[in-house]
Amino acid sequence: MGDSVIGLIIVEYLFLLRDNYPESVLAKMKSYLVSEAVLADIAGTISLDRYIFLGKGEESTGGRGKKSILSDALEAVIGAVYLDGGLEKARETVFNFFRDKIEGAIRSGEFYDYKTELQEKTQFLYSKLPEYRVIKQQGEEHKRVFTVAVFLDGRELGTATGKRKKEAEILAAKKALEKLAEVDKI
């Protein structure tokens, strides 16, 4: 429930901004702000990891630092605030936790979605979708590093490495967009 409450409050705030962003930009901002990475970062800033009960196995594999666990815990806290105090208390709590992230995203454009942008660009220019392939995995299961390449019609456009497959895909898409931008300049 907490994820829905967070999403509602973030969307409401973004919708009421006086900057009149197009719907597509608002959707990208919301998607970024409710992402696992942002939620985990916020959970870290309030030391939520200290209050999570974990099983021995999860504890021994570094569960306190896992983004998925931290983001789920923050969602649970917001859900509990909503159930106990109602929407206004939940709104107040979300703003306290998210204010800096929201302002930072608006100021920096940090919410940019490289994978969506690449998909839209390749569909428009080439009528084809990019394909992401994991070309290398390294490390132990709980400390894997992924190398992903993005291809278009068999041609490699970008390669990147990340701690999660999705992170590597995003970075590869960013490199692919940079490469396509260079081609556009020629």
State yes or no: is 75 an active-site residue. yes
Catalytic entry in 72, 75, 113, 169: 75
CA distance 147 to 162: 7
State yes or no: is 84 an active-site residue. no
Cβ atoms 162, 81 nearer than 8 A:
no
In the sheet that holds 131-138, the strands lie side by side as 131-138, 145-152, 155-162
Tokens of 2: 């907490």
Catalytic entry in 3, 117, 156, 167: 3
CA distance 174 to 179: 9
Catalytic residues: 3, 75
